[in-house]
């Protein structure tokens, strides 16, 4: 073979998604049981090949994977990194575009034997390089939560400010000053009060319910100075 010869190498291109939620104030990850080889029957990140004729871009591929394989729609999606090499997949040299997805617990499908929600501290051994992808995702979520609106995507349609603060504290694993937290929420201009909607606080006064402004629901997380 001389220098003008071309070597054609088939390459696998896929997306993998680290799907995170909050359960009882603790970060949890969602794994799927693989239906096919390699690693059939093993718990892994939701993932799949890119469909060039169907997917507008890699983010659309990730959204399709979550919809078709996990029954999940409208999750917040953010690209993490690209993982490549000959060793990450036994089928050959591969490229995986990794995404992080955040979703409220109530949007997860229930009673599915092929879906496992577990604490991020209790991960089993994962196939491919999924453990490395999860590590990158957790670092991204925790570091970005220090200065942005990212954790709001763990919330449901409406929530009180104390509930939102609890979400931040759960992700960061540390308490936050109430006054400073509320000032930062105001600076972001991310939230709007739900007209006439209050939540009873038991022995406390009813609390105003808030929601994310429509313009921000699928946008990148807003950034402000650190909490």
Report how far residue 28's alpha carbon sits from residue 31's, in angstroms, rounded to the nearest whole number.
10
Domain ranges of the chain: 12-144, 150-216
Q: Can you tell me whether residue 26 is helix, strand or coil?
A: strand
User: Quick one: pLDDT at residue 1?
Assistant: 47
Q: What is the pLDDT of residues 151-168, one digit of tens each?
A: 999 999 999 999 999 999
**12-144 and 150-216: identical CATH topology:** no
Q: What is the pLDDT of residues 183-193, one digit of tens each?
A: 999 998 899 99
For 150-216, CATH number out of 2.60.40.10, 1.10.10.10, 1.10.1660.10, 1.40.20.10 equals 1.10.10.10
CA distances from 46 to 87, 112, 134 (A): 19, 14, 12
Q: What is the pLDDT of residues 69-120, one digit of tens each?
A: 999 998 999 999 999 999 888 888 999 999 999 999 999 988 789 999 999 9
For 12-144, CATH number out of 3.40.50.620, 3.40.50.300, 1.10.600.10, 3.90.79.10 equals 3.90.79.10
User: Quick one: pLDDT at residue 92?
Assistant: 87
Lowest mean pLDDT among 4-13, 47-56, 58-67: 4-13
Mean pLDDT of the chain, nearest integer = 89
DSSP secondary structure of 129-158: THHHHHHHHHHHHHHHTTTBSGGGGGS-S-
Q: What is the pLDDT of residues 210-223, one digit of tens each?
A: 999 887 765 655 55
Report how far residue 171's alpha carbon sits from residue 166's, in angstroms, rounded to the nearest whole number.
9
Q: DSSP character for 162?
A: H
């Amino acid at each position: 073979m001389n220098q003008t010869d071309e070597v054609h190498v088939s390459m696998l291109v896929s997306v993998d998604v680290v799907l995170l939620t909050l359960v009882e104030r603790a970060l949890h990850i969602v794994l799927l049981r693989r239906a096919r080889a390699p690693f059939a029957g093993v718990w892994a990140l939701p993932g799949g090949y890119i469909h060039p004729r169907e997917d507008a871009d890699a983010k659309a591929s990730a959204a399709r994977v979550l919809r078709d394989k996990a029954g999940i729609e409208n999750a917040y999606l953010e690209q993490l990194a690209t993982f490549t090499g000959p060793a990450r997949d036994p089928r050959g040299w591969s490229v995986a575009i990794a995404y992080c997805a955040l979703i409220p617990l109530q949007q997860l499908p229930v009673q599915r034997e092929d879906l496992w929600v577990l604490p991020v501290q209790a991960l089993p051994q994962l196939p491919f390089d999924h453990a490395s992808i999860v590590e990158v995702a957790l670092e991204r979520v925790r570091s970005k939560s220090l200065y942005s609106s990212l954790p709001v995507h763990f919330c449901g349609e409406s929530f009180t400010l104390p509930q939102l603060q609890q979400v931040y504290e759960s992700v960061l694993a540390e308490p936050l000053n109430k006054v400073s937290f509320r000032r930062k929420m105001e600076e972001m201009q991310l939230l709007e009060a739900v007209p006439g909607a209050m939540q009873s606080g038991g022995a406390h006064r009813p609390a105003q319910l808030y929601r994310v402004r429509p313009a921000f629901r699928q946008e990148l997380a807003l950034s402000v100075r650190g909490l």
